[in-house]
Structure 1
Amino acid sequence: MRLPGRLSAAIDVLSEVETRKRPVSEALKSWGLANRFAGAGDRAAIGNLVYDALRRRASHAALMGDDTPRALVLAVAIRDWDEDTVALNASLAADAHGPAPLSDEEIARVTGQLSDDTPAHILADSPQWLAPSLERAFGDNWIAEGQAMTGRPSLDLRVNTLKSQPDRVVKSLARFAPRHTPIAPNGLTMPAGPGDARTPNVTTDEACLKGWFEVQDQGSQIVAALVGAKPGEQVLDLCAGAGGKTLALAAAMANKGQIFAYDSDRNRLAPIYDRLKRNGVRNVQVRAPASGALDDLVGKMDRVVIDAPCTGTGTWRRRPDTKWKLTPDLLAARTAEQSAILAEGARYLKPGGVLAYITCSILPGENDDRIAAFIATHPDFASLPPADLWQAAFGSNLPPNLETTGSGITLTPRLTATDGFYFNALTRPG
C-alpha cells in the first residue's frame, strides 16, 4: 500500500474507534482481518497513524479546527511525519484509494501554529477535567509532562538473570541494536522509530522462547527493583496479574525463598503458568482466587507487593485511547479499590515487614492520597525514605524531581524515559 491508502485505512480505523467505542487494538485487528492484502509493514504504518492521532488528539484538533478522523490523520501525516503538503496533495489526487486532497483551508491550518491563548490542557494533550490533578502532581512542568506522554514508547526488555545475562541477549538481538537501559541494571531498550517504523518483533526470537528475557517497560523493572525482595524472603504479590513483576521478583530473589502470586481475576492470572515455566522460576506458588486462599499467610510475609488496579494514566503513550475515555466516576471507582486493597495487604505483613504500593498512574488521587488515607487509618505505618530505597536498589542517588510530597517516587516519560509509575514502600515497627 502507498501512503494515500494507508491514510484512508487509518481514517477508517479511527472512525471505527470513535463511533463504536472500540479499543484501538481491536479495531486494528478487525481491519487487518477484513483486508488481508495488507502486509505487516502496512498494518504497522496504519497503527502508527492511528495511535499518533490519539496521542495528540487535542492539539491536532485545535490546530485543524476539527476533530474528525480525517483532520487528525492528516495532521499526523504532515506535522508528525513531516510529509510535504504539495507532494502529499499530488499523491492524493493521483490515488483513488486515498482520501481527498487537502483543501486550501486545511493546508493553512495544518501548516500554522496554535494561538498564544490556546488552553493549557490542549497544549498538554490531556483531558480538561484532569488539568488540576496534573498541575498538582507536576507543578509548573505539568504541560511538559503531558507533552512527553504524547511520544511513542520504546520497546524495553528485562533480561532474566535466572537463565542469561544482558550481553548475551544483546548478541542474540544484535539485528535490532538494543541498548542497555540507563537505570534498570538488567534492562535493554530499543527506541521507537519515526513515521511508519515497525516495532521489533522480539517475541519470536530464540532468546525469548528460551526464557532469556521478558518484554517489560523499564519503569516496571524499576519499581520491581525498589520492592527490595531478597533471597530467602516470603513475599506476597497480591495483584500478580499475568506475572510480569512476579518474574522480576523471582529473579531478584535468585529462586530462593517463596513468592505467593495471587490475583482476584482468574483470567488475568492465567498466563502466569507458562511464563513461570519458560523463565525457569521455581520459587513461585500461584494461588488461584478462592475463599480463604490466602488465610494461611496472614501476619507472615516479609513483603507484600500491591500492583494496584488503576486508571493507567502512566501508560498513555501505549494506550492513548484510554486518555480520552477516562471519567471522574472511573477514577473514583479505582481509588476505592486501591484503599481497600491497601488495607487488605497490610493483614499479611509480619512485624517489620514492607508493604510496597505500585500504580501505573500519575494522578495524586491514586498515589500520595491513597497512602495518606491508609496511614490515617493505620498510624503505625510510615513510608520509607525514597532516597534510601533508590540507593539500595541501584547504588546511586535518587534523581531530582522523582520524590513526591507523600514520600513516594514517580516515574514519567519526561523524567525517566519510562511509562508513568508510582511507588511507595511502607513499614511498621517490628
Structure 2
Amino acid sequence: MRFPGRLSAAIAVLADVEQRKRPVSEALKAWGLNNRFAGAGDRAAIGNLVYDALRRRASHAAAMGSDTPRALVLAVAMRDWGETPESLNQAFASDTHAPEPLSPQEAAGAVAVLAAAPLATQADMPDWLAASLERALGPDWVAEGQAMAGRPSLDLRVNALKATPEKVMKSLARFSPQSAAIAPFGLTMPAGPRDARTPNVTTDEGYLKGWFEVQDQGSQIVAALANAREGEQVLDLCAGAGGKTLALAANMGNSGQIFAYDSDRSRLAPIYDRLKRNGVRNAQVRAPNDNALDDLVGKMDRVVVDAPCTGTGTWRRRPDTKWKLTPELLAQRQAEQAALLVEAARYLKPGGTLAYITCSVLPEENDDQIAAFLAETPGFASLDIAAAWRQALITDLPEGLATAGGGLCLTPLRTGTDGFYIHLLRKA
C-alpha cells in the first residue's frame, strides 16, 4: 500500500471505532482480517496513524476545525508526520485509493497555531480533568499532558533469575536496545517516527527462555520500590497477569513466598505460563473463592496493592481510554481502591509494609486515597519515599517526583515512563 491508501484505511478504522464503540485494537484487527493483502508494514503504519490521531485528538480537532476521522488523520499526516497540503494533494492525485483532495480549511490546519486554545486542548486531555491534573502535576501540567500524548518506548525488564542485561542486549542487538535511565534491570527501545514498527521481541529466543519480560520502566520502578526482600511473606493482592509478581520474585531471589491473587480469574490466566517461563519457584497462585486468603490474615510482611484505576498514566499506550473516561468511572474506581486498602491492611502483620500502586496520575486515586485511609485506619504511617528510593535504586530521589501527600508520581515528562503512583505505609 502507498501512503494515500494507508491514510484512507486509518480513516476507515477510526470511523469503525466511532460507529461500533469498540476498542481500537479490535478495530485494527478486524481491518487486517478483512484486508489480508496488507503487509506488516502497512498494518504498522495504519496503527500508528490511528493511535497518533487519538493521542492528540483535542489539539488536532482544534487545528482542523473538526474532529471527524478524516480531519484527525489528515492532521496527523501534516502536524505530526511532516507532510504538507501540497505533498498530500500531489500524492492523492495519482492514487485511486486516496482520500478526497484537501479543502482550503483542511490545508490551513497544517499551520494552525493553538496558543489561544483552552489549556486542556493544548494538553490533549478532557476538559473536566484539567483541575485534577493541575492539582496533581503543578504549573507544568500542560507540558505533562503533551508528553502523555506522545508515543511510548518499548521497555523490557531483564529477569535476574535467568539472565543479565548484557546477555539480553546481545540477544536483541538487532533492535539496538539501550539501558533504561532508572530501572537497574531495564532496557528500552525508543519509539520511532511516522510508520516505524515496534520490535517484535516476544519471538526472540531470549524471551521464550524467560530472560526478559516486556514491562514499562515505570512499572519496574514501583515494583522495586515495593522492596520485597529475600525470605519475606508477600501478598500481591491484585496480581492480574503477573507482571509485578515476576519482578517481586526476582527481587526476592526466588526465596520466601509470594501469594499471587486477583479477584478476576480471567486476569490471572496468563500468570501460570509466565511463572514457569521465568523460572519463578517462590510464587503460589491463589484463585478467587470465598476463603482463598483467610489463612494469610495478619501474617504478611508485605502486601502489594496494584489497584484498579482509570489508567491515566497509560494514555500513551491506550489513548482511546482518555476520551472514554467519565466522572462516574472515576468514582467507581475510587470506591474499589478504598475497599482494597482496607482489605490489604487485614493481611499485614505488625511492622509490615503496604505498597499502594496505581497507573494513574490523578490525585483522587492517589494522595487523596491515602489521606482518607490514614484518617480512618489507626496504626498506619507513611514511610519516607526518598529513603525507600535510595534503598531500592541506590541513587537519590530525583527532584519533583515526591507528592505533597508523601507518595511518589512518575510521568512521561519527568521520568520518560508511563504514569505511576506509589505510596508506602507501615503498620505499627
Q: What TM-score, normalized to structure 2?
A: 0.99
Question: In structure 1, what is the Cα distance between the partners aligned to 2:68 and 2:169?
Answer: 43
2:250 match: secondary structure: helix
Counterpart residue number, 1:304: 303
Are 2:11 and 1:6 equivalent residues in the alignment? no
Could you give the per-residue CA deviations for residues 325-363 of structure 1, whole angstroms, max 9, x where no partner exists?
000000000000000000000000000000000000000
Question: In structure 1, what is the Cα distance between the partners aligned to 2:220 and 2:127?
Answer: 31
Could you give the per-residue CA deviations for residues 41-77 of structure 1, whole angstroms, max 9, x where no partner exists?
0000000000000000000000100000000000000
Counterpart residue number, 1:184: 183
Give the counterpart letter for 1:337 in structure 2. E
For 1:3-402, what aligned pairs fall within 5 Å after superposition? 3-114=3-114, 116-402=115-401
1:12 match: secondary structure: helix
Question: In structure 1, what is the Cα distance between the partners aligned to 2:98 and 2:341?
Answer: 52
Could you give the per-residue CA deviations for residues 6-41 of structure 1, whole angstroms, max 9, x where no partner exists?
000000000011121110000000000000000000
Give the counterpart letter for 2:112 in structure 1. G
CA contact (8 A) 2:348 2:427 kept: no
Give the counterpart letter for 1:188 in structure 2. L
Superposed displacement of residue 93, structure 1: 1.5
1:25 match: secondary structure: helix
Superposed displacement of residue 111, structure 1: 2.1
Which piece of structure 1 moves more, 79-88 or 60-69?
Answer: 79-88
CA contact (8 A) 2:349 2:427 kept: no
Unaligned runs of 5+ in 1: none
Superposed displacement of residue 96, structure 1: 1.1
Question: In structure 1, what is the Cα distance between the partners aligned to 2:132 and 2:259?
Answer: 35
Give the counterpart letter for 1:266 in structure 2. R
1:203 match: secondary structure: helix
Superposed displacement of residue 224, structure 1: 0.1
Question: In structure 1, what is the Cα distance between the partners aligned to 2:372 and 2:109?
Answer: 48
Question: In structure 1, what is the Cα distance between the partners aligned to 2:172 and 2:337?
Answer: 39
Give the counterpart letter for 1:227 in structure 2. A
Which piece of structure 1 moves more, 27-36 or 376-385?
Answer: 376-385
Superposed displacement of residue 103, structure 1: 1.3
2:201 match: secondary structure: coil
Which piece of structure 1 moves more, 94-103 or 360-369?
Answer: 94-103
Superposed displacement of residue 101, structure 1: 1.2
1:345 match: secondary structure: helix
Q: Please list every run of at least 4 consecutive aligned residues from structure 1 whose deviation after the TM superposition is greater than 6 angstroms.
A: none
Superposed displacement of residue 139, structure 1: 1.6
1:379 match: secondary structure: coil
1:303 match: secondary structure: strand
Counterpart residue number, 2:407: 408
- Structure 1 vs Structure 2 CA RMSD: 0.6
Question: In structure 1, what is the Cα distance between the partners aligned to 2:211 and 2:173?
Answer: 14
Superposed displacement of residue 388, structure 1: 0.5
Superposed displacement of residue 216, structure 1: 0.2
2:288 match: secondary structure: coil
Question: Identity over the aligned pairs, expressed in percent?
Answer: 73
Superposed displacement of residue 84, structure 1: 2.7
Question: In structure 2, what is the Cα distance between the partners aligned to 1:237 and 1:112?
Answer: 49
Question: In structure 1, what is the Cα distance between the partners aligned to 2:138 and 2:238?
Answer: 31
Superposed displacement of residue 368, structure 1: 0.3
Q: What TM-score, normalized to structure 1?
A: 0.99
Question: In structure 2, what is the Cα distance between the partners aligned to 1:152 and 1:179?
Answer: 17
Question: In structure 2, what is the Cα distance between the partners aligned to 1:169 and 1:326?
Answer: 38
Question: In structure 1, what is the Cα distance between the partners aligned to 2:206 and 2:267?
Answer: 25
Question: In structure 2, what is the Cα distance between the partners aligned to 1:107 and 1:420?
Answer: 35
Give the counterpart letter for 2:412 in structure 1. P
How many pairs does the alignment contain?
Answer: 428
Question: In structure 1, what is the Cα distance between the partners aligned to 2:234 and 2:322?
Answer: 33
Question: In structure 2, what is the Cα distance between the partners aligned to 1:149 and 1:332?
Answer: 22
Question: In structure 2, what is the Cα distance between the partners aligned to 1:285 and 1:379?
Answer: 31
Question: In structure 1, what is the Cα distance between the partners aligned to 2:200 and 2:116?
Answer: 43
Question: In structure 1, what is the Cα distance between the partners aligned to 2:51 and 2:105?
Answer: 25
